[in-house]
Amino acid sequence: MQKLKEIHLSGESELTEQMLKAEYPIVFRNLVSDWPIVKLCENNTDPQKRLHAQAEYLQRFSAGATVPAWVADKKEKGRFFYNQDMSGFNFEQQRLPFNDVLAWLVANADDEDIASVYLGSTSVDLLMPNYRKQNDIALLNKAPLVSLWMGNRSRVAPHYDATDNVACVLAGRRKFTLFAPEQYDNLYVGPIEFNPAGQAISLVDLHAPDFKQYPKFEQALENAFEATLLPGDAIFIPSMWWHHVEALDAFNLLQNYWWRQAPEPAANPNDALVHAMLSIKDLPQAQKEVWKDIFDKLIFNPQPQTHIPDSAQGFLKPLDEEQAARMRKLLLKRLQ
């Protein structure tokens, strides 16, 4: 296990665009330590007083929205995963008022032998209008997705996102274990279309890895990176890096920013993966090799197609809104 690169900052104003284009994860110590929600941690050394102060602060902005929450029995010990035969999951998804979830977490903070509650990827602006006027990263305030994650102790299996990600810890401690994209084969990735949260996950339990069933996972662990973040810290996770996230305390709060280094109208590459499985995966090997070569020339290492007049380049031109709309229209027609 390796330590992640760390940069110590005195606030989010020191974050630069260059840092957010790194190819490797970076821990930003104290990136959001000056946010009001985080300062409540510093100003209250007593855990109960700190928890109540943060809950009251969030309720000040709350719009009373109902949110999807995952609830797992205490026997699962905070691990949100599949059930035993992978026919379903080991948790229930419920729609609950945000304020009720918050109140339950506060009331049960002293009880470790309790169900795990996990509120994930919920729009900050939907939950708490005006909250980001006081708690935001200026460089990322136009990010398409800004989400809140809240709960007690929990573990989320290694998964990747197609987007870049900055995750800011606001309350509690978070332990991140990261694997580079090239560790895919060593992670024993589960189903693409049937998974807890929309992304394929590793089937290995990091707390009790079964090396007989998953022998190559030892190699993944040897090349893994690990960091524990405190309130005020943040981590940059580049697109396609696998990450296991563990919330270590009775009350955990995290705010993250997702964005892509791609033209705004660009589609999700995961959709292209599914379409390729539908159209290419089961072709004869010789045909797959031809398609691999075409993809390389037009997608992965595009070469200028100078023999085609500029006016007739069509989909070969750089992507814009008009072209994206035409592509979607063509795909919809062909899929139907």
Is the distance from CB of 126 to CB of 147 less than 8 angstroms?
A: no
The phi, psi pair for 225, rounded to 5°, reads -120, 150
Q: Looking at domain 2-259, which CATH architecture does it have?
A: Sandwich (2.60)
Pairing of strands 154-159, 79-80: parallel
Reduced to 3 states (helix: H, G, I; strand: E, B; else coil), residue 80 is strand
Identify the pLDDT of residue 303. 84
The phi, psi pair for 210, rounded to 5°, reads -95, 95
Identify the pLDDT of residue 309. 84
Identify the pLDDT of residue 276. 92
| Reported confidence tier of residue 334, pLDDT bands at 50, 70, 90 | confident
Closest CA to 16 of 170, 166, 134, 230: 166
| Reported confidence tier of residue 49, pLDDT bands at 50, 70, 90 | confident
Q: Is the C-alpha dihedral spanning 227, 190, 198, 296 positive or negative?
A: positive
| Reported confidence tier of residue 179, pLDDT bands at 50, 70, 90 | very high
Q: Under 8 Å CB-to-CB from 291, ≥6 apart: which residues?
A: 280, 283
Other CB atoms closer than 10 Å to residue 119's CB: what's the count? 21
**Residue corresponding to tokens 């959001």:** 32
Closest CA to 115 of 96, 134, 128: 96
Task: Average the pLDDT over 169-183 and give the result.
Answer: 97
Residue 310 has pLDDT above 90, yes or no: no
Q: What is the pLDDT of residues 200-217, one digit of tens each?
A: 999 999 999 999 999 999
Task: Average the pLDDT over 132-138 and give the result.
Answer: 95
Residue type, 10: S
Residue 308 has pLDDT above 90, yes or no: no
C-alpha to C-alpha distance for 312 and 222, rounded to whole angstroms: 51
Give 262-288 as a DSSP string. S-TTPPPHHHHHHHHHHHTTTS-HHHH
Residue 270 has pLDDT above 90, yes or no: no
Mean pLDDT, the chain, as a whole number? 92
Other CB atoms closer than 10 Å to residue 87's CB: what's the count? 8
Which residues of the chain form CATH 2.60.120.10? Answer: 2-259
C-alpha to C-alpha distance for 197 and 271, rounded to whole angstroms: 15
Residue 304 has pLDDT above 80, yes or no: yes
Residue 154 has pLDDT above 80, yes or no: yes
Identify the pLDDT of residue 282. 94
Angle at CA 202, nearest 5°, toward 197 and 205?
A: 105
C-alpha to C-alpha distance for 192 and 91, rounded to whole angstroms: 19
